[in-house]
Amino acid sequence: MNATPSNLAITPRNLKFNRSTSTGERRGHHTRWWHSNDPIRTAFLNALSVTFPQGESFFVEAVRRYRDAADPRLQEHIALFIKQETLHTREHVAFNRVIEQAGYDTEAMNAYTAHRMTVARARPPIAQLAITVALEHFTAILAHELLANPRQLDGAEPEVARLWKYHAIEEIEHKSVAFETYLAATKEWSGFKRWYVRCKVMAIMSFLFWRTNTRHMADFFRQDGINTPRTWMRVLKHHFVAPGLLYKIAGEYWKFYSPTFHPWHTDDRHLIAAGERMLAEPPIAA
Ligand SMILES: [Fe+2]
Ligand SMILES: [Fe+2]
């Protein structure tokens, strides 16, 4: 079932985004609603970003614990996965500072995320790995959609769009690492048990992932004074109609439940190449 391309390159890119320049000026011009001056599109991605530093640290711990069960190639991929996620955390910590500087208080969101992490860390190590497999599938299919459909980031401030595209490229590159670590860690299990546990955990995590995202969006909307039914109707439109992010990823999401699923059965390496070309463009000056 090992479908990871033999020539796959997982490349940690030590890039910095959204930092102040030497003159103290911030690169780019961050408005509060940095995505198309739209509070919904901004809140959706802000809500993801505030969970990333804690979430990605959890992924790293969960995968690292099973390094010894992996063959040498997978061990190498695990090391690169850890490097990539650690750099993502650094960049989202910097971006989350930009969110705060735009006037948002993220303390309650951080506390809620920390609470969810405490609950997850109380689970057995193999369950923590299965949680990581589920959430890495979400990040990989969201990343695919962000890179495949330019509309998703059209109208976003360029420096912030670059951060999301960089992150998306690397999520695609390492999308099978947690999954294959899970296969290595459960090689004594029956095929049915392996499938059943990852699917059960995915069903639970799907609920928890979207509940957390929705909670955080509500927090942003409250701070914007727009936590109203009208705003939530617009959220539904954003998720399911235009740009229809959830609707677009639904097909890839359901593939996870197949007994023969492997992340690389969808080969989207062409998006890595396209994303790389975009990152090679000169950064936006202040
Ligand atoms: Fe990441
Ligand atoms: Fe990841």
pLDDT tens across 192-206, in order?
A: 999 999 999 999 999
Among the bound ligands, the one closest to the CA of 92: 1
Angle between helices 107-121 and 125-148 (to 10 degrees): 130
Q: How far is the CA of 15 from the centre of ligand 1 (A)?
A: 13
Span 3-14, average pLDDT: 91
Q: Rounded mean pLDDT of the chain?
A: 93
Question: What global pTM score does this model have?
Answer: 0.94
Percent of the chain at pLDDT > 90 equals 84
On the question of pLDDT at 128 being above 80, the answer is: yes
**Per-residue confidence (pLDDT) for residue 31, from 0 to 100:** 82
Q: How far is the CA of 119 from the centre of ligand 2 (A)?
A: 20
Among the bound ligands, the one closest to the CA of 173: 2
Q: How far is the CA of 133 from the centre of ligand 2 (A)?
A: 9
Q: Encode pLDDT of 230-271 as tens digits.
A: 999 999 999 999 888 888 999 999 999 999 999 999 999 999
On the question of pLDDT at 53 being above 90, the answer is: yes
Sign of CA dihedral 251, 254, 258, 261: positive
Given a contact cutoff of 8 angstroms between Cβ atoms, the answer to whether 286 and 26 are in contact is: yes
For 172, other C-beta atoms within 10 Å of its C-beta total 26
Given a contact cutoff of 8 angstroms between Cβ atoms, the answer to whether 154 and 5 are in contact is: no
